[in-house]
Structure 1
Amino acid sequence: MRPAMTFSALALLTLAAQAQPALERGKYLMEGIVACGNCHLARGPQGQPLFEKGLSGGLPFDEPVFMAYAANITPDKVTGIGNWTDAQLGKAIREGMRPDGRLIGPPMPIEYYRHLSDADLAAIIAYLRAQPAVRNAVPKSSYKMPLPPNYGPPLQSVQAPPRSEQLKYGEYLANIGHCMDCHTARDERGMPVPGRVGAGGMEFKGPWGISVSRNLTSHESGLKSWSDAQIARAIREGVDRQGQPYKPPMAYPFYKNINDADMAALISYLRSLAPVANGGKT
């Protein structure tokens, strides 16, 4: 029996070693560019993070066309995702479909998460599995607008561009970080305004008052006169060129963890956006 036991122990160690890079990548993504905690982290009445409750959700999104609540995405088996398989969790994140067949509505940015590569999706799932289970029942979201039947055809396999292709990889990061989900103005139906991608102008109401997403395009009213260092500082620290703080809800506490190579790729992509007149300033 000893050889079998030794083999089993080695197999477990091998699996653990293989899982570690995925978990590290998941931590980097979740606590960086993807920033799921910006919505799913439990919060107090003034919007303050309740770190002891982890990603147990509950943050309300009160909009004219919906009343949504961030879901509990901890491994709790009663109120969270503890009973979901990896495949079900992946389908929910990347295709917006719950295990029971119901569609996940806004503000979950499914159209951007569809760009998540297979490897990064697996890394995020590994990270979620490693979080403490927190019992927190979240109200169901309700919508006054019809939801689409789906967010596109079923995805088979998605690969990220190579990091050596800086512009394409920067676009990939902007997609999985759903930057344009907030930095593009929307019409009364909540749909992105055509021709204004990245031009800002979307309003956000919260305990901080009202903030308006700024223009990220290369227009004069956008980032044209900003240096790369100023853009990086704004993303990581949440301050403008004069050092004045921006208001929430941009995920500065998460974006500070974006490494230099990824930040350079992201800025490269932002520089490539066609100039569009100002849509707003936070």
Structure 2
Amino acid sequence: MTSPWRGAIAPIPRPDPSVFSAATIERGRVLAHLGACFVCHTEEGGAPLAGGLRLDTPFGVITTTNITPDVETGIGAWSYPAFERAMREGLHRDGRHLYPAFPYTSYAKTTDADLQALYAYLMSVPAVRNATPAPEFTFPFDQRWLMAFWNTLFHKATPFTPDPSKSDLWNRGFYLVEGLGHCSACHTPRNLLGAEETGARRFSGGVAEGWEAPALNRENRAPVPWDETAYYDYLRTGWSRHHGAAAGPMAPIVAELKVLPDADIRAMAHYLASLGDAPRSAAEIDALAAAREAATAPRARAPVSVPGGRMFEGACAVCHEPGKGSALYGTKPSLALVTAVQSDTPDTVVRVMLEGIHPKGLGTLGAMPSFADHMSDWQIAEIVHYVRGRFAPERPAWSDVEATVARLRAHAGAR
């Protein structure tokens, strides 16, 4: 095990961006978007990359740091070796251990060339003076030196090595998804010490900012299996005909991926598809979707008698009822195919109703309005019950939905 106390790396004058080539800086810009640096290190209304975003964790609150090249409050005094050590080993320039809310456990897989390009880009952006608060952790989680033991148990600071038994496309996808893309950070459950679980539990689903991050492996509950085409459509546009739209913390991730070339999105889709069941043909996928929608269609001329059904007809059907009306707001998601409706908990469906979907930077994807100001807890709960019973009839009914609505409404109001 490495020592719990690590030495500081001496500060340097801020590097002159002109020492880096334009091509290197541009490569780093794309990598910064792949790594979602802007998503985590920019608070709402704040300067890009200047930190300040509060993240709730099971161990306390972390406020993201300033990674602009400001010498005093950012990383402007960091040499490349200090930056590389942070990305691979989770250590601050001054020797402090970083917490794995910063996903260095994934970033460690990044190649030297890509880390150098990312460093060049970050040193080229405008410096912003913005001191951010320290983590709000209680004892013993506020003892950073304990992370040395955590790293010994759960972290391998080794760059990616291609698997010679796999194709170039698969290896490229693995590198993007498992490295800077850090998809496992949200889509893998964590143990009691906050480390990602391994083996069959990897990519079996997790939680991101209170939203369910569904399984990406064979445990995914999507009514229609995810295939390479669906992953490509979803990552490229934020929308898949057979799975719906990106919502919650996934929507800004898709927006960040817009700068990646098509070849990289296809590689990511190829790798993600390999985590699931054996691939099916496009015709089989279409047939499964059609059968699912037919099985959950409203009975011809049968009146909707339950309160949730009547409210669904009035507020939701125009966008979510197959064959009824045009595609408003850009898309027409089929609830018969949405994974969240199949979940063990109603939380994601409730949050979408309370908060809506407002995908910034995703072109014509459109939006879903929030119903928080227009419906009571009881009304939302009744609609959620109806959606579950109709579109996931083989799954058990959700319990305590009205209490869930109240809890999530209070949480949204407290932010």
* TM-score category (smaller protein): 0.7 to 0.9
Structure 1 segments unaligned to the other structure (5+ residues): 1-14, 45-49, 206-210
Query: Partner amino acid for 1:70?
Result: T
Structure 2 residue aligned with 1:254, among 237, 256, 263? 256
How high is the TM-score relative to the length of structure 1? 0.78
- Report the counterpart of residue 37 of structure 1 in structure 2: 38
Measure, in 2, the Cα distance between the counterparts of 1:59 and 1:280.
29
Q: Which has the higher contact order (CA 8 A, sep 6+)?
A: 1
1:274 Cα shift? 5.5
Distance 1:154 1:204, change over 3 A: closer
- Alpha-carbon contact 1:215-1:279 (below 8 Å) kept: no
Aligned CA distance change for structure 1 residues 280 and 101 (closer, same or farther; 3 Å): farther
Contact 1:69 1:139 in 2 (8 A): yes
Residue 218 of structure 1 and its aligned partner are, at CA, apart by 4.1
Q: Which has the higher Rg, Structure 1 or Structure 2?
A: 2
Q: Which residue of 2 aligns with 1:201?
A: 206
Instruction: Indicate conservation of the 8 Å contact 2:105/2:156, yes or no.
Output: no
Contact kept in structure 1, 2:42 and 2:49, CA below 8 Å: yes
- Comparing 162-171 and 254-263, the one that deviates more: 162-171
Q: 1:183 aligns with which of 184, 187, 193?
A: 187
What is the rounded CA distance, in whole Å, between the counterparts of 1:280 and 1:29 in structure 2?
35
Distance 1:224 1:178, change over 3 A: farther
TM-score where L is the length of structure 2? 0.54
User: How far is the alpha carbon of 1:131 from its aligned partner?
Assistant: 0.5
* 8 Å contact kept, 1:218–1:271: no
Shift of 1:78: 1.4
Q: Paired residue for 2:241?
A: 241
- What is the CA-CA distance between 1:187 and the residue it aligns to? 3.6
Query: Distance between the aligned counterparts of 1:106 and 1:204, measured in 2?
Result: 15
Give aligned pairs, total.
252
Deviations 1:110-139 (A, max 9, x none): 110110100000000000000000011100
Summarize the alignment of residues 66-145 of structure 1 with structure 2, pairs less than 5 Å apart. Answer: 66-144=60-138, 145=141
- For structure 2, the 5+ residue unaligned runs are 1-16, 278-341, 349-415
| Contact 2:51 2:67 (8 Å CA) reproduced | yes
Deviations 1:22-49 (A, max 9, x none): 1121011112x222111012324xxxxx
Q: Distance in 2 between matches of 1:243 and 1:193?
A: 26
CA contact (8 A) 2:226 2:273 kept: no
**How far apart, in 2, do the equivalents of 1:17 and 1:265 lie?**
32
Per-residue CA deviation, residues 180-233 of structure 1 (Å, 9 max, x unaligned), is: 11001224432334432112132523xxxxx21012124562597234232122
Preserved CA contact (<8 Å) 1:182 1:202: yes
Aligned residue in 1 for 2:57: 63
Are 2:20 and 2:120, in contact at CA under 8 Å, matched by a contact in 1? Answer: no
- 1:69, distance to aligned residue in structure 2 (A): 1.1
The root-mean-square deviation of aligned C-alpha atoms, in Å, is 3.0
Superposed displacement of residue 75, structure 1: 0.6
Equivalent residue number for residue 169 of structure 1: 172
Which structure: greater helix fraction?
2
Structure 2 SS opposite 1:138 = coil
**Matched position secondary structure for 1:181:** helix
